[in-house]
Structure 1
Amino acid sequence: MSADIYATPDVSKKVRYNRNVQEDKEEWEEREVEIYEATDAIGDDHTDNQPHGGGPHTERHPPALQRRPFRAAALCLAVLCFLMITGIIILSAYYYLVTLEKDQLQTRYDQLSSNYSQIQRKVSEKWCPDGWKRSGCSCYFKSEKTKSWFESREYCQQRGADLVVINNEEEQKFVTELGKDGESWIGLLDEQRNGEWKWVDGLPLTETFWASGLPHGDGYIYAATCCDQQGKWTQRRKYEPKKWICEK
């Protein structure tokens, strides 16, 4: 037994065991290094923030988890761009259609306006008797002969009309142009000799175009004529011979 105590110990098995453990550990570390080197090649930004050493307890994150947010952001951006482009295309198409429809409506309106003018001209020609001129909704006749105011009015009434009643400035301009060759009787009379002028339809004056200083009264019955050289009304004794203007 004492011989066994002092005998040289056999450490070959232990050495072999330690060597095997050491070799397995180195091989495992080499594999781990290779894995993390591949990871570093995919995402350098992430690995720069991690501690170096590559030990078995060093915290690492798989690169796929890090790339998912970037892929999602890129996908959202692509969808947003697609929607924007689609919206621009739709708006452009809508604008084109609206412009086209507007042009078509304008063309149609021009055609209708032209047709209306033609119809209106034809109706006017048939509406007003021969020798009468149309303005607005009325027909006007300018005589070439002369008569007293009452005789002139009788002539108009026999043709379903009366001496012209001037209601506004537009009609005043038309009558002035119609009677530019001299004064003509119009349907305005001071029959009561009191300065109360009335139209033949019984209405009082609302707008007047008298010449300067008119009207005036001196006991005679006056009637109005249109127009003097300035396109204004004058007053004449109703028995004077003048041309006349009828309206119906």
Structure 2
Amino acid sequence: MAADTVAAPHLSLNVRYKRNVKENSGEEEENQVEILEDEEHHAELKPQRARPRSPVASNRRSFRATAVTLGGVYLLLLAGLFIRFTLLQTRYDQLSSNYSQIQRKVFDISIENSQLQSSYETLSVNHSQLQDEVKHLKTRMKEKLCPDGWTRSGCSCYFKSEERKYWFESTSDCKKRGADLVVINNEEEQKFVAELSKDGEFCIGLLQRLSQKGLEWGWIDNSPLTET
């Protein structure tokens, strides 16, 4: 298929020749040639038929297609960055919440630690006091040694007399020795007294008193009698 042709432009040139001769010298002359182009006729040149497709237009279309593609890529990048930012913000909120919970737990543990420290100090003071009391009791026990002829059991000293006396006489004899007839306070002491008096009969600090209910047994230190 033949390509469309464009009519060849017709140019008209105007030539103007000037000759200038200086009167004084007669030797030098200046020649000037002016070529004038018929601009009006050149400007009116137009294609008589449709022009072929310009490479510039194709380049423009390619550029627009490339711009649209790049715009889509940028939009996808922006969407990805927005999603990434949203996920990071959610993760940050979760970490912030966990950090707040950990801070509260640390604060509670600090309070409990302070309370435990205070309790420990109180127990330490009580322990020191108990140690002092134990030392004092040990000192008293060492100082309170049983005299000759007396038998020690626990914190008390017991004396078994070989003389035969009545109950009231036995009470008076104990008073003279700075003691009293035995008062049994517990099962351990009862076993000890029974073992001490297994080879005879002995008086103990038990007597009958008159009360509103009649005669009742009781200890000489006014503590009630219990069969246990």
Gaps of 5+ in 1: 1-7, 43-60, 210-248
Read off the aligned partner of 2:177 and give its amino acid letter. Answer: R
* Count of matched residue positions in the alignment of Structure 1 and Structure 2: 176
Once superposed, what is the RMSD of the aligned Cα atoms?
4.9
The 1:116–1:100 alpha-carbon spacing in structure 2 relative to 1, beyond 3 Å, is same
Please report the TM-score for the alignment, with normalisation by the length of structure 1: 0.47
In structure 1, what is the equivalent of residue 134 of structure 2?
A: 117
Counterparts of 1:70-219 in structure 2 under 5 Å? 70-79=87-96, 113=130, 115-127=132-144, 130=147, 131=150, 133=152, 135=154, 139-148=156-165, 149-179=167-197, 182-190=200-208, 196-199=215-218, 201=220, 203=222, 205-208=224-227
Inter-partner Cα distance in structure 2 for 1:161 and 1:27: 126
The 1:87–1:175 alpha-carbon spacing in structure 2 relative to 1, beyond 3 Å, is farther
- Whether the aligned pair in 2 keeps the contact of 1:190 and 1:197 (CA below 8 Å) is yes
Question: Which protein has the larger Cα radius of gyration, Structure 1 or Structure 2?
Answer: 2
Instruction: Verify: 1:24 aligned to 2:60, yes or no.
Output: yes
Inter-partner Cα distance in structure 2 for 1:172 and 1:120: 24
The 1:174–1:87 alpha-carbon spacing in structure 2 relative to 1, beyond 3 Å, is farther
Compare 196-205 and 100-109 and name the one that shifted more. Answer: 100-109
Percent identity over paired residues: 20
Q: Report how far residue 69 of structure 1 moved.
A: 0.8
- Whether the aligned pair in 1 keeps the contact of 2:181 and 2:204 (CA below 8 Å) is yes
Inter-partner Cα distance in structure 1 for 2:197 and 2:120: 44
Inter-partner Cα distance in structure 1 for 2:190 and 2:132: 29
Inter-partner Cα distance in structure 1 for 2:219 and 2:99: 78
- Whether the aligned pair in 2 keeps the contact of 1:152 and 1:185 (CA below 8 Å) is yes
Inter-partner Cα distance in structure 1 for 2:115 and 2:96: 28
Q: Report how far residue 63 of structure 1 moved.
A: 3.1
Bigger relative contact order (CA 8 A; separation at least 6): 1
